Amino acid sequence: MVALTATASLGCSAKLMRTLGMFGLLGMLLVRTVEGHEHHTDDIPKGEAISAEPLDSILWTHICIQILSFGIIFPTGMILGIIRSPWHVPVQVVGTLLAVVGWFLGHAHKGRQFAPNIHASFAWSLMLMLTAQVLIGIYLKLHLTKGLHSTVRKYVVTAHGILGKTLPVVSWVQMLFGGITALGFCRGDHLGQCLAHFIMGSAFIGYGIILTILLIVGQVWLKRTGRSQEFFDSIVIAAWGCVNTFTEHQWGTAWVHNDIQHTSMGVVWWCAGLVGIWLSRKRGGRPKRNLLPGMVIFLTGWAMSAHPQHLPLSAMVHTSFGYTLMLAGLVRIIEISFVLRDKNTLSEDGTEANSFQYLTPLLLCASGFLFMGATEEQIRLLSDAGVTHVSYVLILFSFAFLLFLFVNMLLHLYATHAMPEIVKADAEASRINGTANGHVRAPSESRLIRDAEEFELEGLMSDEESLEPPGAKRTQHIH
């Protein structure tokens, strides 16, 4: 028996080494192919970042394929992996193949030429993450659970989960780099304000996505922490305010342009954040809702709506951004005060949401796109093209709607395979068995938490490690 086990282990190890060797050889070929491609820059005017030629069909195909793979397929595959769907591997394989094809197309285009840029440099980091994720996935798919593998496997599963959840964020950054590079923006004197717009805009979008996650599937986790949502919001607001206070102005130099307004906004943020942290707990230590984060969002929107600008179009876009942010803050205040009445959720188990609660995250996403689209170079390009602020704002809102739709689709995919099945099973059991007063019992909180953890942690466990379906009742055997 020992000999057979050793032979099987050696066979699996040899199979793994052959697979890794094949991918290593493929990686070396890819590197040599890319290194052999020359990025011509002879047509780029002096002092410019791009040439005057338009984007050719190959580069447009590269853009579409990479948005499809990194922006849609990989996030979908991530959710499929969390819920342990058999479609996880096929979807990720398709995404990987498309990403490799798109990568080659990005090095085979003609037309517009580009100076050395952040998009090309950062692409190596993204592809390295993807390669590591693929190799880890192959290792897990081999189901090596004997000997040393039984110890290593749990750490590999954790690393696979972390990389999978990090990849969409890194992909978002790379897609922004791609848009900036394609237009030759964010260089020289424009770099500072460009960074501020894209970082702050992405932060608003990220905040909106996090609020959506907490609204739809995160209330059980939030209740388990023993903290209100405003506690975490206020911590982030205070930390961000401290950063803005000391980075928006180069201390020791003269105050120029909008330095005073940016710095004072940072001061308001950390001051309000501290108040929000203090008000997030009752006297007995229990969590309590408060309105400070909503007030901070409203004040920030008011300040940005009156932000002085050089171009009329820029002023109108910033005003639209400010009004949208003010509306997000106002809606948040109304939600906590009148819809939830200081409660965390409308239902005991946290699975139901009022339609009004979706407005705040949607408006935050729209605010993020409006702010990212209000850089000096973008506004100058649109102004020269005769584009009005109404058309531009509507287009940016359209992007926000599409992103918000995609986020809700992914969360629905997760939620329908997690807690709703548990709620349905408990409600059915109560209907059959009955209760003392004739009412249906709500599912127990401990069971909801346990099953949610199973879906999060067991997404990549092998068949030998988990033979029972998620949510199945476990029994202890006494030997």
- pLDDT per residue over 261-276, tens digit each? 888 888 999 999 999 9
Q: Residue range 389-407: average pLDDT?
A: 97
Phi, psi at 246, each rounded to 5°: -105, 0
Of 78, 103, 109, 102, the C-alpha closest to 91 is 78
pLDDT computed for residue 436 by the predictor: 43
Phi, psi at 377, each rounded to 5°: -70, -40
Q: Residue range 419-443: average pLDDT?
A: 49
**Placement of tokens 């409203």 in the chain:** 298
pLDDT computed for residue 316 by the predictor: 95
- How many other CB atoms are found less than 10 A from the CB of residue 400? 21
Distance of CA 301 to the CA centre of its chain: 23
More confident residue, 19 or 286: 286
DSSP H helices, 56-117, are 57-66, 74-82, 88-106
* Contact between 294 and 370 (Cβ < 8 Å): no
| Residues 453, 469: Cα–Cα separation, whole Å | 13
**Predicted structure pTM score:** 0.82
**How sure is the predictor about 475, in pLDDT bands with cuts at 50, 70 and 90?**
very low
The share of the chain scoring above pLDDT 90, in percent, equals 55
pLDDT computed for residue 449 by the predictor: 54
The b/e string for 408-447 (b: 16+ C-beta within 10 A; e otherwise) is bebbebbbebbbeebeeebeeeeeeeeeeeeeeeebeeeb
| Cα–Cα separations (whole angstroms), residue 202 to 176, 208, 372, 400 | 10, 10, 8, 12
| Contacts for 217 with CB less than 8 Å, ≥ 6 apart | 411, 414, 415, 418, 419, 452
Chain-wide mean pLDDT for the chain? Answer: 82
More confident residue, 439 or 263: 263
The share of the chain scoring above pLDDT 70, in percent, equals 78
